[in-house]
Amino acid sequence: MEPDSTRKVYDGSLLHLVVEQWGPRTREIVESPNAVAIVAVDDDGYLNLVRQAREAVRRELLELPAGGIEPPETPLDCAKRELREETGLTGGIWRHRAGFFTVPGFGRERMELFYAEDMERGEPSPVADESFEHVRIPVSDIPSLLPELEDAKTLVGLLPYLRDSGRS
């Protein structure tokens, strides 16, 4: 699949917007960095989440640790970096679980989902531009937490985790 033409209409610091012509169809498309999200369980059996101010939607959301890939790092390198920065977790056993498109109707973003288990605890080192709270929850409490989650990637990550672990 290739467009007939592509025109960049906004060139920002994180986001870029292009208008593509596909035969009779005109498509406005957001370009943003590809990303990762991590279902991280530490060696005490706690799921590690972050509560973060999300300016775009005017509220704080409870989410999986996640972030944008900074080439040339691989998705796995990015996931380990983001998890260390946001929660202090290191080591552990890593597995790639899924890849998906977050908003294929208007954006290119692809997200890779990792499971990280038996992680060792340490000190977070948040970057200056972000403000968030590190939240730890016993894995057995995930089902009762689901109704209050409003972030798509967090739902995409935790629902298969419950299936895989037989906790659903």
- The pair of structure tokens assigned to 132 is 């968030």
Q: How far is CA 168 from the centre of its chain?
A: 22
Active-site entry in 120, 130, 133, 150: 130
Q: Is 78 in the site for a copy of itself (CB under 8 A)?
A: no
What does the alpha-carbon distance between residue 37 and residue 141 come to, in Å, rounded to a whole number? 20
Q: Is 156 in the site for a copy of itself (CB under 8 A)?
A: yes
Q: How far is the CB of 2 from a copy of itself (least distance, A)?
A: 8
Binders of a copy of itself in range 17-76 (CB under 8 A):
17, 19-20, 22, 24-30, 32, 35, 53-59, 61, 63, 66
Binding-site member from 43, 96, 101, 122 for a copy of itself (CB under 8 A): 101
Task: For the chain, give the longest Cα–Cα distance.
Answer: 56
What does the alpha-carbon distance between residue 164 and residue 168 come to, in Å, rounded to a whole number? 9
Binding-site member from 39, 102, 122, 136 for a copy of itself (CB under 8 A): 102
- The pair of structure tokens assigned to 21 is 């012509």
Question: Tokens 């640790």 appear where?
Answer: 65
**Is 20 tagged catalytic?**
no
Q: Is 7 in the site for a copy of itself (CB under 8 A)?
A: no
Q: How far is the CB of 143 from a copy of itself (least distance, A)?
A: 9
Cβ proximity to a copy of itself: between 37 and 41 the closer is 37
Binding-site member from 7, 9, 77, 118 for a copy of itself (CB under 8 A): 9
Binding-site member from 45, 104, 122, 138 for a copy of itself (CB under 8 A): 104
Q: How far is the CB of 133 from a copy of itself (least distance, A)?
A: 15
Q: Is 6 in the site for a copy of itself (CB under 8 A)?
A: no
The sign of the torsion formed by the CA atoms of 20, 23, 24, 25 equals: negative
Question: Tokens 């990550």 appear where?
Answer: 157
Per DSSP bridges, beta strands 59-63 and 25-31 are unpaired
Closest C-alpha among 134, 164, 136, 159 to residue 147: 159
Active-site positions? 130
